[in-house]
Structure 1
C-alpha cells in the first residue's frame, strides 16, 4: 500500500545477480541488523509494482509483514530452487494443493 492508500497487487521481480546478493552486505543497516538484507534485496530486484514510479528501500519497509514474507519466499523459490510452484490451502474447504505461479522471465 502506498502513501495515498492505494493497494498495488501486480508487479515484476527479476532474477537476482551476484551483485544483488553481495553488495548489500556492505550496507551499514545490514551490518547492524542482518534482517534488513531482505529489504535491500527486494528493493533491487522488484522492477515494477503497480503504478509506483520508484521502488526503493522505503517502499519495501512499508510492506505488510505478510506481503514481505510472501515475496521473501517467492524470491527464494525463483533464485535458489528454480521453480515457482507454491503450496497453499483452500480457505473454504482446507484442501492443500500446489499451483504454478505465473512466471514471465522476470
Structure 2
C-alpha cells in the first residue's frame, strides 16, 4: 500500500513539473510578441506642459496631459523648452505601459 502511495505521489510531482515548463515557455512566447508591438514609435504633436519630475515630461496631446519618461540623452533638450511651447514628440510604449521619449522637437 505504501509503495502505491509513493508511486502516485512521485507521478504527481513529475507531471506537475512538466506542466510548469510548458506554461513558462508559452508565457515567454506571448511576452515576445508584446515586446514587438511595444516598440512601435508613435509621433504626436502637442503642447509642452512642463516637467513632472527630473526624468518625466508632461505634454498635452489631444487635450489630454500625457506623461512621458525621458532618458539621460534627451534631458538637456527638454530643459531648454519653455512651457506652452508647441512640440512634436516621438515615443514608444514599454512592456510595463510607460511611454518612453525617443525624440523631441520644438515647432
Q: Same fold (TM over 0.5)?
A: no
Higher CA-based Rg? 2
TM-score (norm 1): 0.28
Give the structure with the larger strand fraction.
2
TM-score (norm 2): 0.27
